[in-house]
A = this chain, B = another copy of it.
């Protein structure tokens, strides 16, 4: 079967935006088409990764609206929802659309408009991802993160500071990303003394609420050559679920969806953790970066905290993680995040990451986590030229 290439990528400024969802989606979608030199009329399939435009803005059918606004009619379109991993699910859907032969030019646009809602309103919608038996008694996603972080620190004798250092690293990386919501460094003291949200996690252990959009353009590798010499190839992609009721899991520090989707992506690509040059992990909460490092085999269970202490995941370390700034500093517009992770990896692979560029990056990985690991999508991309 022919490989699936990515020939264009773009993202909007992330942060607090005045535009509504359809404008944000169109901005990223048009920029992506322009990046690739492809006309809107050439798009055959259009996938829109978005969790909750209906709940957040009272507007549904945004995929049809986007096809219209881009000038892509009669392209087929569909909205892809996999909660906070809708972007990763969109990559999988786009890959399938090309790999199955259904489309030779598939545009994926992920986006969410959230900042017009209060934190309480947004949290209500986000909490509804999980099981009512848990959120109805107040266990929202930040609570799961707090409980898991406490367990991790105590069980593996990890210092609280190690979690703080994830935030410090990702904020430092975000300074070099002009599209990031927060382009400023924070020091460890600021993180450790910020207000408690879900003990032991504090404000700076959490990603912000964000508006934004990101886009990728997919086609068969043979078609890619008609447009560009520099492209990436999706060599591995897989998704997997874990229990919807989080407290039913055997080990709270193991995210089954991370492990299983990672295995699938490695097997498909013929790669292993040792081959990955750069990774974007879903640091919605600092603790999640550790769980993904371990679940994806970059280190053993209970050991990820040592890597951050050693600088292993810094931009100049062995495995740079979240060179984009991650969800932590770049922001987390739900449906956009998984797409934006792959935009960063694409830019690293084609050498367009500017001040964030990792030398000789040839194999990259993104991991996009839905809910509290309820469904996870892992994607491996490689330089295609």
A residues 322-379 near B (Cβ < 8 Å) are 370-371, 374-375, 377
* Interchain CB contact under 8 A, B82 and A78: yes
> In chain B, what residue has the closest Cβ to A89?
B78
Q: Is the CB of B68 within 8 A of A60?
A: no
Instruction: Kindly supply a per-residue 1/0 record for chain A positions 222-234, scoring 1 wherever the CB is within 8 Å of any chain B CB and 0 otherwise.
Output: 0000000000000
| Closest chain B CB from A317 CB (angstroms) | 31
Do the beta carbons of B99 and A244 come within 8 Å of each other?
Answer: no
Q: Shortest beta-carbon distance, A140 to chain B, in Å?
A: 13
Q: Would A73 and B241 be within 8 Å (CB), given that A59-B128, A63-B375 are in contact?
A: yes
Contact of A51 among B60, B64, B95, B256 (CB under 8 A): B60
Cα-based distance from A96 to B77 in the complex (angstroms)? 14
Q: Is A196 an interface residue (CB 8 A)?
A: no
Tell me which of B74, B83, B100, B257 contacts A61 (CB under 8 A): B83
Provide the A79-116 mask, 1 if CB < 8 A to any CB of B, else 0.
11111000001001101110111100000000000000
| Chain B residue with the shortest CB-CB distance to A94 | B96
Distance in Å: Cβ of A69 to nearest Cβ of chain B: 8
One of B55, B95, B240, B371 near A55 (C-beta < 8 A): B55
Task: Kindly report how many copies of this chain are found in the complex they form together.
Answer: 2
A243 at the interface (CB under 8 A from B): yes
A52 at the interface (CB under 8 A from B): yes
Q: Are A64's CB and B99's CB within 8 A?
A: no
Pair A63/B82 contact, Cβ less than 8 Å: yes
Contact of A100 among B99, B261, B375 (CB under 8 A): B99
The answer for the CA separation of A370 and B65 in the assembled complex, in Å, is 12
Residues 262-315 of A at the B interface (beta carbon under 8 Å)? none
Interface residue tally for chain A (C-beta within 8 Å): 60
Main secondary structure of the interface of A (DSSP, over half): mixed
Docked CA distance A202–B132 (Å): 40
Q: Give Cα distance in the complex from A377 to B64, angstroms.
A: 13
Nearest B residue to A129, CB-CB:
B61
CA of A194 to CA of B191 in the docked complex: distance in angstroms? 67
How many angstroms between the C-alpha atoms of A261 and B99 in the bound complex?
20
Q: Is A75 an interface residue (CB 8 A)?
A: yes
CB of A209 within 8 Å of the partner chain: no
Nearest chain B residue, comparing its CB with the CB of A51: B60
Are the C-beta atoms of B93 and A78 separated by less than 8 Å?
yes
Does A131 sit within 8 A of B, measured CB to CB? Answer: yes
- A125: interface (CB < 8 Å): yes
Give 4 nearest A-B pairs by CB, closest first. A68-B244, A76-B239, A99-B100, A61-B129
A residues sitting closer than 8 Å to B (CB atoms) are 1, 51-52, 54-55, 58-61, 63-65, 67-69, 72-83, 89, 92-93, 95-97, 99-102, 125, 128-132, 238-245, 256-257, 260-261, 370-371, 374-375, 377
Given A64-B370, A67-B375, A76-B239, output 7 extra A-B contacts at Cβ < 8 Å.
A52-B60, A58-B128, A60-B125, A68-B243, A77-B82, A79-B82, A95-B100
23 A-B pairs, CB-CB below 8 angstroms? A58-B128, A59-B128, A59-B132, A60-B81, A61-B83, A61-B370, A61-B371, A63-B375, A64-B244, A64-B374, A64-B375, A68-B241, A69-B244, A73-B243, A74-B256, A74-B257, A75-B240, A76-B240, A77-B375, A78-B375, A79-B80, A80-B80, A96-B100
